Structure 1
Amino acid sequence: MQHKVSKNTELELQQLLRTQPKQGFDRVFETYWQRLFSYAYQIYAEERICEDIIQEVFVSLWEKLEYTSIINLEGYLFRAVKYKVFNHLRDLKFTQEHQEVLEQIAMPARAEANLDYDDFETLVHREIDKLPPKCKTVFMLSRFEEVSNAEIAQRLNISIRTVEKHISDALKHLKTNLPVQELSLIVTLMFQ
């Protein structure tokens, strides 16, 4: 039986992630793995794929622990799973109809609370559009098309260091120009 994580428990997990990352990560994994798997499986009933997706989400979380703070951990994890499943379905070249069905799938109520992603994404894209053309191109390839830095450098005939600089500049621009309460959402979107 799935049960919701209380707000106090989530705050304790976030504190543990900051103070004792290994123990905190283990607790987050134990607390959320089954719920995330069930959620992914409701969307895409392929056990192996869902397990892989959940594993990728947790690996991504672990890699981000040292340089990010996630305000709504449950929301972050469920949104990350939904995006990973969506990307998997997109990669399978599902039709627009299938993608529309996926977009209609509701997230657990608490995970969706205070996360107005449509407005957020509009705001982020508006700020991305303000970037210099080359910086915008590099950033879009890196963060939205998941192209490696080496491949971006090769495609655009620039150095990997220049790619890294453009990405860094774009993230600084977003951090400077988006409201403080949106910063954890930036991390969610930008480091997928």
Structure 2
Amino acid sequence: MSRDSSSPSLISALVHHYDDLVDLLRRRFGDRGFARDVMQDVCVQLLEQPPKAAVHTPLAFLRRVSTHLAIDRYRVEQGRRAWVESMAELPEQAAAQPGQEEQVAARQDLDALIDVIENLPPRCREVFVMHKIHQIPQAEVAQRLNISRQMVEKHLKAGMAACRGKLQSPERS
């Protein structure tokens, strides 16, 4: 590691002005512990990577370096804090597992809907399955089946009415 002749003067300036630099950062960022941590980072940086060019005003250089490191560190801590706060808002579990009764009821609803769809008239069933199950746009369904869009809409309305009727029927309860 090659040292520039300015490094010893920077280190001595850092030692001489340490308290002033800590106070500068404390006033700007509001936390003395944070300011001391940043100054420790400045010391490490100067020892590991001394400036390549001569520094003519060591105090101004130290102020700039310490302020830039403090800003970087503050941004990182704000990002972490925001992440932790957003995680605190998430529920412990993604969703509660449905109980046995809810699973049975859902399976019965699904079976009833399958039965209704299977008992639709053939063209109605074909349109309904293409659009609602396979998510094919109505225009494409009309084109594939060589029928008008109005006919597609008519079949979809009939299929939806049949499904709705089955799910709302009193015999389900």
TM-score normalised according to structure 2 size: 0.40
- For normalisation by structure 1, the TM-score amounts to 0.36
